Structure formats: C-alpha cells, structure tokens
Structure 1
Amino acid sequence: MNVPRPQPAECPIGVFDSGVGGLSVLRHIRAQLPHEHLLYFADSGHAPYGEKTEEFVVERALAVTAFLLDHGAKALVVACNTATVAAIKAVRARYPELPVVGVEPGLKPAAAATRNGKVGVLATARTLKGDKFLQLREQISATTHAEFLLQAAVGLVDQIELGDLQAPKIGAMLEQYVAPLLAQGADTLVLGCTHYPFVRDGIEQVLAAHDRADVVLIDTGDAVARQLGRLLDTGALLRAAAPDAPATLRGFTTARPAALSAAFLALLDLDPVVAAADI
C-alpha cells in the first residue's frame, strides 16, 4: 500500500478542486491558519466533475492527491463537494495516515437554521446523486424536522469558471435554479458547491427580487477550515509563526496557468506563482 510518511509541520497543506471553486475554501483556510504553506490544485482541464461518472472523479482525486503528496503535502483538503461525495472514501483508504478534510453540503447547520423546516439545496447533479449525500440527507431528516428540497444547478460551475461573475447568463441561471426553491417555501439555502459562494451576491439579488431577503444562506468553508485546524493540532502538524519565513502559496492547474492566475487575482486579490500540471 502506498502510504505517505508523516510530514513535518513545515510542509504545505494541499487543497484541490475541479476548478476555481475551492478558492472559496482556501480563503477561509488562509484566514484561520495564516502561518501555513498552501498548495492549490485546480483540475480545470478535467472539469466540471459534477457531470462526470463517479469512477472518473475517483480516478482524478487519487491522481491529484498523489501529485500533491509528491510536492510535500502534509494534509489534504478536498475542496470540492462532488469529489468529497464520490472519492474521499477512496482517498482515505489509499492514504490512511494522511489527514484529509472534505466538504459536504451543510445540511446539518441548515436543519438547525431553518424556521419552517424547508431547506433548499443547490448543488451539482453528481453531488445530489451520491450515496454519501443521500445517506447524510436521510440521517438528518430522520433526526430533525427538516425537509430538503434538491436543485441541480446544471452548467453553473462552467459559467463561474469563465470568471465573469456579473455575466447576465449567471444571473439567469441563478433565477432559474433558486426561484423554484423559493416557490416551494425554502427559508434556508445550502450552497452545496464550493463555486457558489463566489456568486453569493447574485443569489442575494434573486432573493431580494422575490422579496425573500430573509432566506439564510449556508456556506461550510469556515467549518472546513476549523476541522483542518483541529486535525493539524491533533497530529502536531500546525506550523508555528515564523516572521522570517512567511507562509507561501503556490498554484497548479491542468488547464492554462494564466486562467488560474486570473482567478486568484479576481476572486482573492492574490498573485501566487502558478504552474501547469501534466497529470
């Protein structure tokens, strides 16, 4: 079995997504763990995962994990809802000693937040079909009064990847996908893909247009960063502050490096070194 050796605290954390959506999680990690070195991998050359088979997503997740381990990653954040649902079990099975944190739609906090028991879940088709998601929904439905209203946002990830978050097409898609959830009475909306926080303003515009500004939006990026911090602390892997050696950030992509660089700048106001990854 290919098991990575324990990595010292000075090594970086690997974060990956099918594209730029995981930058929404990276934003929370940098805020909560400012001393950590970070590697961000955008598998944009094989995106979107949400419309691929589970076998394909598992294959890509294992390949990207191996790449990040080759670059010294001490921990892994699967910053993609689809990859978490489809592949995190396989990643943990292959690398049992590696601290791994995934993201999943925030059904539990949404069930706690809802006032009328109706929770809208906006996610990719692959996430909503995954066994992990369906089991989570059944578990929470059985122990709470929440009813989960599912909406696959087909094509939305592709549009967000293009980078123009104010594009009319994105606004039209948000209206198309959010409005039916509002019509069914949802008072809480789960952003079930790491890309979706980047169009939060557009979602809020749809809510306002339907006179539903009171709808609560659930983004789990903050919780992911907290869980990562706990795992690193437990494993004595937290990096100490080092004024003479500040935290670094590097990016990798299976598409054009210039596109990921543009996303870093537009979405996070960062300009790290970005390299192509041929895997």
Structure 2
Amino acid sequence: MAPRAPIGIFDSGIGGLTVANAIVNILPHETLFYFGDTAHVPYGGKSAETVVKYSHDIVSFLLDQGCKAIVVACNTASAAALASLRHNWPSIPIIGMEPAVKPASSATQTGVVGILATRGTFSSERYANLVDRFGHGITVLENPCIGLVELIEAGLVDDAITENFLHQILTPMLDKGADTFVLGCTHYPLVRPLIERIIPPSATIIDPAPAVARQLQRRLQHLSLLSDQRTDDHHFFVSGDPHAFHTMAKRFFLADFLLEQHLIY
C-alpha cells in the first residue's frame, strides 16, 4: 500500500466531518475519501445487522478506491461492525469510535457523567464493556438523544428548536450533578456551541474525535504509511441528496473537496 494513498472515512451523514477535521488538523498531507450514507441516516435506530451490512458495503467501496486505511467515523457503526470489519480485512488498519467513558471517569469531579449517544451505541456489547471496565465509582447517565441527528442533518445546528431539545436532555443530567459530558455520536460536536450555552463553564465536554485522529496517526506511522504530500483533492461520496450534503459540508469541513453521489446498495 502506497503512503500517498487516501484514507477512507465513513459515517451515516455529516457527523463524521468532525472526525475528518481532526484528521486534517494533525495530518495535513493526507487525502481523505469520505462516504456519507445519507440515504440511510440515522444509523442509531437501525438493527445491528443492518448497520453491519451498510458498513461492509461502504468499506468495500472505499477500499476499491485504493484507500490505505479506514476510519469508522460513526459510534453506532463502530459498536456494531468494527470487529467484523477488522476480521474481514485484517491487513487494513481500521480505526473506530467509542464513547469516551475512560477519560470521562478521570475528568469528573462530582462522580457523575452524562453520555449523549444513540440507541445503537447504548445497546452494544462494546459500550457495556467500556462501562464495566471504567465506570466503577461513578454514576453514568445516558440519553440516546432520539431526533438530534435528524435536527443536525437538517442544518438546525444553531436553532432554538435544537437548543430547547438539548435543554430537555442536559437539564436532568445537571440536576443529578453531572459535570462531565461525553459526545458519543460524531454528529453531536456540531452542536457543541449550544451545549456550552446550557451547561456551566466549569463543566467538561469530551469529544473523542481528536483522540481518534491521533490513533490513526500512530497506526499509519507504525506501518510507514504516513504521506509526505497531499497529491489529490479530498473526495466526498454520498448515497443520498448531494446538494443538501454539499451545503452542510461547505459549512463544517475545513478544506476544499470534490463531491459526487454514489449508490452502492
């Protein structure tokens, strides 16, 4: 595999752009091939079997484009499909997301942590194992934030509707003493400014995206696959309406990109 080959990233929609930005920040010489499965967003309420199928189809497509590594920039897909993806492609570095229970347990001063994720993440064995390993001695409050991804995908990231929605999620957590909040879905950092309006300045917000980018950097360095020069434009693919995605991606992605619709199912 050539070091200048692209890195493949995928998510159900625009949420994975938060991870893509983190990668661009620390690996500016890398080219990204991003797949947003907007025809099937959100993944959070779908069965694990369905998410596994979508994930395998997308990874197969990205590898056909010559990608040297894969980042599963979706917590739900990571929870459902990461193990099977690694089993299916053992020679490819595949990096996934996970709710940051471990750093949250270290950061909290009150011993109460609020985790904002999806139903798919909360019901997964991967998440249960994390809480079992790192949740001792703390209280973990969970909310699947049903409907939040749809609000974000609709572009309502600074809208009063979304702020009121977040109030309903965060206020009960604050009332129970939560001082640390985990953004357990890659869409949620896109509404971080709204979250910061609701929680006190002393509270901690944990976004796993930078840690995922650093893990990718370590893996590529270990395999001598770090690029020394970006040789192509970032290329984005979507399974749904490219126009809606383009509007949001121009707003949130930090670099120029090419975009096309691609149906892989």
TM-score (norm 1): 0.92
1:219-262 deviation digits (Å, cap 9, x = unpaired): 011100000000001111111136xx4x5200000011112211
1:87-115 deviation digits (Å, cap 9, x = unpaired): 10111111011101001111111111001
Whole-Å separation in 2 of the counterparts to 1:27 and 1:227: 14
- For residue 88 of structure 1, what is the aligned residue in structure 2? 82
Q: How many residue pairs get matched? A: 264
Whole-Å separation in 1 of the counterparts to 2:181 and 2:253: 24
Aligned-residue offset at 1:268:
2.3
- For residue 178 of structure 2, what is the aligned residue in structure 1? 186
Whole-Å separation in 2 of the counterparts to 1:269 and 1:22: 13
Q: Is the 8 A contact 1:36 1:248 kept in 2?
A: no
Q: Determine whether 1:8 maps to 2:2.
A: yes
User: Which of the residues 50, 54, 63 maps onto 2:57?
Assistant: 63
User: Which of the residues 243, 249, 263 maps onto 1:258?
Assistant: 243
Whole-Å separation in 2 of the counterparts to 1:95 and 1:36: 21
Name structure 2 gaps, 5 residues minimum: none
- For residue 143 of structure 2, what is the aligned residue in structure 1? 151
The 5 A counterparts of 1:1-279 are 7-142=1-136, 145-207=137-199, 212-241=200-229, 245=231, 248-279=233-264
Whole-Å separation in 2 of the counterparts to 1:79 and 1:269: 16
Whole-Å separation in 2 of the counterparts to 1:273 and 1:256: 15
Q: Which runs of 4+ in 1 moved over 3 A?
A: none
- Aligned to 1:49, the other structure's residue is in SS state coil
Whole-Å separation in 2 of the counterparts to 1:12 and 1:241: 11
Q: Is the 8 A contact 2:4 2:229 kept in 1?
A: no
Aligned-residue offset at 1:141:
2.0
Q: Report the AA paired with residue 17 of structure 2.
A: L
Aligned-residue offset at 1:269:
4.7
1:117-138 deviation digits (Å, cap 9, x = unpaired): 1111011111111110011111
Whole-Å separation in 1 of the counterparts to 2:197 and 2:128: 30
Whole-Å separation in 2 of the counterparts to 1:269 and 1:233: 24
Equivalent pairs: percent with the same residue? 41
- Aligned to 1:44, the other structure's residue is in SS state coil
- For residue 4 of structure 1, what is the aligned residue in structure 2? none
Q: Is the 8 A contact 1:24 1:197 kept in 2?
A: yes
RMSD between aligned alpha carbons? Answer: 1.1
1:57-110 deviation digits (Å, cap 9, x = unpaired): 000000000010011110000000000011101111110111010011111111
